[in-house]
Copies of this chain bind each other. A is one copy, B any other.
Amino acid sequence: MQAKQILLANRPKGLPQNSDFKTVTVTLPDLREGEVLIRPIVFSVDPYMRGRMSDRKSYIPPFEVGKPLEGGAVSEVLESKDSNFQTGDRVMVSGIRPYTPWSTASIFPGKDLRKVDNDITPSYYLGVLGMPGLTAYFGLMNIGKPKAGETVMVSGAAGAVGIVVGQIAKIKGCRVVGIAGGSEKIKMLTDTFNFDAAIDYKDNPDLSLAISTACPDGIDIYFDNVGGEISDAVFPHLNFFARVALCGQIALYNTTEIPVGPRVQPLMVTRSILMQGFIYSNYAAEFKEAMKQLTAWVRDGQIKYAETIEEGFDHLPQAFLGLFSGRNSGKMIVKV
């Protein structure tokens, strides 16, 4: 059995280049007792993967140079020597390292796989019912702690996490304002996802003024997916006792020097502001409850979802790089 794989060729400096990726063909070993051969159907590409390309201390170990990259995926079982799985089952890699290699086929011990429902669109397990959905849920509920009538600001609002944050905040009775880039995304936020207002940062040279107008009562919760200059514009509008859920800093992931910006601490002291970085796995003890709630909201239509789908295994690197130019609306998915 042969498989095509995409490896990390070099650790990128700044924005990754095509030359940082390399495609190879390998021969997989024979399947042993207890093992399962899987074929990915859909891959997820996510901003956090940029961090794993560098050799930095973080919550997940870095990718290794010369080894396949990896990410979330839903796969189909091709062959099984574990009685819990049959050919045709849909599965995901589970456990504390729930990553599938960028390979057209892989072998895993059955104990590291879990089945997913065949009646739910497979890619939803990579989005609203996966890492991005859980990230939105825990960051908003456990750090933001929304109260009805409060104003919630979301940066990167049209991304996989942002659209879920906004819809949960609406369910909780908040005024929801999103920042995104491009008129299509802005239209999607207000028309499809029920945001009260959306600000196009590419079309508002005075972003601070646009924020004032959209948030007449200031901002109580800031769910930050991007960081950098957009956050600089948001910060002065935070209210006393505001909460900032730091989910991602995509604007800074490709910087090669320590980024510099206005210091946030003086305002945080004078207004008693809380800011907290997090990753969804901090809340592993609450996964079941959160998944149950998200699944119910998706089934009854209170949460809608959007995806940008790229076709073809070979397009994984381009789809990933597209995240940094904002090419996706909602979750970026690669269909193999």
Contacts and interface: CB of A to CB of B under 8 A. Distances in A.
Given A57-B270, A270-B58, A270-B59, A249 B265 contact: yes
A251 to B, nearest CB: 10
A279 interface: yes
Interface stretch (A113-121, A170-178, A240-248, A290-298): A240-248
Interface string A269-305: 1111111111100100000000000000000000000
Contacts of A227: 263, 265-266
Contacts of A56: 270
A249 B247 CA distance: 25
B260 A261 contact: yes
Dominant secondary structure of chain A at its interface with chain B: mixed
B282 A277 contact: no
A52 to B, nearest CB: 11
A259 B263 CA distance: 6
Contact of A272 (B59, B240, B260): B59
A271 B58 CA distance: 6
A28 interface: no
A205 interface: no
Contacts of A9: none
Contact of A277 (B224, B265, B277, B278): B265
Contacts of A278: 269, 272
Nearest to A282: B272
Contacts of A266: 227, 249, 252, 259
Copies of this protein in the complex: 2
A109 interface: no
A222 to B, nearest CB: 11
A2 to B, nearest CB: 37
A56 B262 CA distance: 17
A189 B267 CA distance: 30
A273 B143 CA distance: 12
Interface string A225-244: 00110010000000010000
A276 B275 contact: yes
Contact of A273 (B58, B228, B231, B277): B277
Interface of A: 51, 56-59, 224, 227-228, 231, 240, 246-249, 252, 258-279, 282
Given A59-B240, A231-B265, A252-B263, 8 more contacts: A224-B265, A227-B265, A228-B263, A246-B269, A268-B277, A269-B278, A274-B276, A275-B275
